[in-house]
Each structure stands twice: as structure tokens, then as C-alpha cells.
Structure 1
Amino acid sequence: MKRLYTVFISCICFLFICAAASAQNWKDLAAPKKGTKWIQPSQGSPAQPVWGHANGLQVGLSPLPGPRGLLRIYTPYLGHQEAEVMNFIAFEPIVKRGDHRGLSELEMSTLDNKRGKRFWSANDSTSTIPAREDIPATGIIEKTAGAETLTVYVFSEAFDNGAIVYTRLRFYEDQPYEVEITTYTAPGSKALDHFIVTATMGNYARLRDLYLQTGTVSSGTLWPGYKEDGFTAHAHFPVSSFIKNRNGVAYFIAAPNEKNPSVAAYASGTNDHWKYYGKKATQYWYSKNNNEKMKGLVNGRYAYWASQSPIPGGIAYENFELKAPFVQGCSYVFGVSPLTANDFVKKIKNKRK
């Protein structure tokens, strides 16, 4: 019976792989439905997997442009065009007594031998069997703690280190520039020490200043002499150094140090997709499960990923994340505010929620 079940699952996976391989260009997929509050995938045909606020932050998945194994963060309210990614979020679980992170963007898929772990969406927490990327779940609209919400689950195939994880994405109508990401292990997973959801493309917006209780910390100060084409080591900041609102919720905040990031002189040969346009914005994390062991981590790059092109203005933060001991159902919130960092800090210091 076990052998028959294995063959059955293998056949299902093969069909999904064949269907995905025949998928058309992402622009040929059905466009998402946009209502007054929410944007959701169309149903009944291969469709673009996009969820979120109709006029705020949105999240997409492959086969939309970009590497597999990443959530795409869209911010059209900053003047960005369709499918323009402001940042990516990767899944990086660390198993107990393990010494390295799983890397959702870089590991090879065991389903089709392509780079990047396969992500798929569902309307519940039980859909652990791989599903087609281009037949996305609608997401569920309901009332949560008095506010209307849109919820969708995003699953990943197993990681090379034995982690099997998924997340719940939830958007709240009164928080148009945020997405809540709740982290879980699925049945059969190895136990975890950490499940890091990391924003991986801070270099696009050229994030250079961290805002902490003691003031700003610049990437140039942390790594003044670094001019290589790889990643720096991570810098760690305890949650006690974060800026807090009146209820003690701690925010890890990063922003560009340029007055207008859309105006920059790029080195010859810099790929156009690195050239930022649109309004300046402030990116941030906070957790709804504050833990005294939580830390904020950043690393930096002097040259854009997979290139020798130096970043205009010098080294900038690339990965930007929270790291805490894993607890099933721990929630992290990622946001991209159109406010300047100083105005955003003033706002949260007066915020009671």
C-alpha cells in the first residue's frame, strides 16, 4: 500500500511538472481581480498568483517575474509598474543542531530539478501536496479581531536540511502597507531552531540607515572598507535596541539615506532591473510574538547581486530580517511605508496598537 501511495504521489507531481512546463508567459495568465479593498487571483484558468491590498502592499509568487522560492513584494502606491518587485522574501529554516540555513531561492527543487524551491498556495493549512503555481488559491476574506482580512497559505517543498515549512499570509484592511507572515512546520519536518523569513533585496532601494533607539546605524559605518562582490557577514542587533510603540511592539527599520533614490548615477553595464524608480519608502519588520532573544540582522553588498556593478553611493544593506527561536505559529510583519523614516518613527512612537 505504501508503495502504491508513493507511485500515486509521484504521478501527481509529474503531471504538475508537465503542466507547469507548458505554462505560457506570465502576462498571458489571467490578471488578478481587483476590488475596492483586495486584489486576488482570478479563478477558472491559469492565473497570476497575487494577493493583498487593492491600493497597498501586495504579494506574488512564481511564475511572476523573479527567481523561484521567493515571495514577491509589490508596492504600486510608490509609482511602481505591474510586477515591479520592491523586495523579495525568502524562507530560510535552520533545523535543530544544524549549522546552516535552508535557502529557498538557491536550493534545487526535487520536483523538477530547477533552481529554487517550489512554492504553492492554498486556502487552508492542510494542502501539503505540491500544487500548480499557476492555479492559485483565492485567499479567504473574513473578519479577524474586528477588521476585515485576506488570508492565504504558502507552502514550500522540503528543504535539503529536512525542514518542511509553510506560512500564512494575512492582510489587514486597516494596515495597507503591511503583510503578516506566520511561520509553521508541516508534518514530517525536522524540528527547527529557527525559521527566518528574510527580505533579500534591500540593494534595489539602496537601504543604508537602520533606525534604532540610540540613533541611525549606516551600512558605510558597519563595513567601511568592504569592496568585494559578495555578502558581508551579518551584523546583529538585540530587540532591546529597536524603536518601540506605546504598547512595547519593537520595530526594526531600514531606509535609504538618499533624498531621492530614483536619481542616481549607475556604473556602465549595470542591469536596468537594478535601477530604482518611484517614491522613497521605509521598510520595516516587527513581531507579534515579542521575544527577548529576538534579533535584527542585516548584511551588506558593495556590488549588485551576480554582478561586478558597484551600487551607487556605496555599500547598502541587502538581507534585512528578524531572527528568533522557532515557535509554531510565530507571526512577523513586513511593511513598506511611503512615509520618510523620521515621519514613520514619529508615527509608531504615538501608536498604541
Structure 2
Amino acid sequence: MGKKKVTFADIAKYTNFSKTTISRYFNNPDSLTLENQEKIAKALDDLGYQENKLAKVLANGKSEFIGIIIPNLYLHYYSEMLNQLLSSYSDYHYKFLVFVSSDKKELEQQYLDELMSYKIEGLIILSHTFSSEELASYHIPIVAIEREAEHICSVDTDNYMGAVQATTLLIRNQCDVLIHVNVPVPEHVPAYNRIRGFEDTCKEHHIPYELMLQDLGYTYETTYIAIRQVFQKIDSTYSGKKKGIFLSNDTYANIFLNLLFQKYGKLPEDYQIVGFDNSPIANEAILPITTIGQQIDKIAKTAMELLILQMDEMKKRKPTPLENPIHKQITPVLIRRETTDS
């Protein structure tokens, strides 16, 4: 026989509160004292109450949904970030609606409209399609990760420090020439500081370097072809020199490493490779890849904390919006593996 459904009347009788007070606990908890909230919470546990989520959404308009818009999942950084964000359900009990935008503005607009129709309580955005000013016009709690975020809250890695760490390691390992492989990144995007940190460090140490900034594809197949062209150019141009290759993410670094193994059957002594992110592929590669760890778990945790801070404020009877967006920066960690420390 199934359990008897616990009603507001049952909870009111158990706690000696009115049904109106019980309703306020679910729909406007800030109107009750902390002591009374705790009494009702204990009663719910004692009675085995199971909340009707749909009824709650209809009653107060709060969906308990968080939207996530992510550019793609083929770059291992994004898939690991998504994994970390979704894992926060056990801490916060918010559900997630996830869209992959492929950096297409028309498609992303459809996704934003869809998310707003679901009455999402907050948005985490990693794509670069809409400006932060455009996103702020939606007037919902938003946190950006690793993108332009002048008008909204954000969490980024200290990309400049990460680039300095990578470049300094390659210099200490006595490379003759350093090469940074990246896409053309706009200066207002946080990841641009990987380029700046690399170039500044090379200039400071008076070491020859090259920036190889070009379109590197938007799928695994197109990225593989682009990285192969980069590899062929480096291999022929700098033959006989010890080459320090700093790639802007671990996906690129893994493809570059695979190309070396396809040609030479090993990592040649005149190559050193450093990636960026510390996504799982860096440790799972044919040879574990030295990388700049973004502490993806910490970024995801900080992003959720920033979003919850804003969403909790919005639930108050008289919410006070943030005077200015909050921007958090996470320190990267150099993780030395076999592509520099054989």
C-alpha cells in the first residue's frame, strides 16, 4: 500500500501553525522567523513530506531551473566544466537546462528565448556570442565563465599568470625557440592574456618566439586538419632547434602530440609541449601532457556560489540588486608531466 500523501493541513496540525503559515514557508520563507522555519522543516522530515514541485512553480513562479549556454563539447575544457556544474545538484538542488550554441548568434537567441520561457532563475554562460551588456538587459542573475563580462558577474582563470608559468618552464628547459598556438582572441576576452603573457615573457628573456594565431576549426575533424598544418610548418621551419610549444588548450596539445607520435613514434627530444586547462585528456593522452591547470572544479564552484548569491537576493520581498558586477579570478597551477619532464 502506498504512503498517505502529507498535506498542508497535516503539517499545520503537527506544528500547531496555521495553513497560511505553512504556505508562507514554501512561498515566502523570509517572512517567517528562523526558529519557525526550522520547526516546519523538522515537521516535513518527520512526516515524510514530498513536495509537489509543479504546484510550487505554478504558485510562486520560481522554476528552480538554471540555464547553461556552452559553445561546444568537443573541447575537453567545456565538457569538464559542464560536468562540474551539473555535479553541483547535490549541493544546491537546482536543475539545469543546457544548450550548445556552436557560437551561432541566431541559434543562441532561440536558446535564450527558450530558457526565458522556462522562467529560469539564473544563467551561466560560456559562449561569446552576445555582449555582456545585451545579457544584462535580461535582468536575471547571470555568471559568465572565461568571456567578456563588463556588465555581469564572472569567474575567470588568471590567464596571464598561466601563460607566464608555461613560458617560463619552456625557457628553463632550454628551448631554442618558443611557439604559441592559439586562435585570434579579441583583447577584451580573458583568454587573450594567454597570448600577452607568453609574448611578454619571451621578450623579457630575449628568446626567439612565434605567435601562430589562426582559425583552428570548430569540430574535431576541422581542428585536426588545422593543427596538422601548424605541426607541419613548425616541424619544417624549426628543424634542428629545440622547440617549446605552448598550445592554448589541452585538446590542441593532445592532437599535436598525436601527430608527433604518428611521424616519429615518440616525443622527440627537440620538442617540449605545454597545454592549458588540465582537462581529463591531458592526463589520459598517449603521453601525459604538462599543462596549466585551470582548477575547473573551483571555477564551477565559485560560479555557482556567485549565481546563488544573486538568486537568493532575488527571492527576497525587497531585493537589492548588486551595485556592480562581482568578478572573481582563480589562480592557475602548473602541472608538470611527461611532455616537458621525461
* TM-score category (smaller protein): under 0.3
Which structure dedicates a bigger proportion of its chain to strand? 1
| Higher Cα radius of gyration | 2
Which structure dedicates a bigger proportion of its chain to helix? 2
TM-score normalised by the chain length of structure 2: 0.26
TM-score normalised by the chain length of structure 1: 0.26
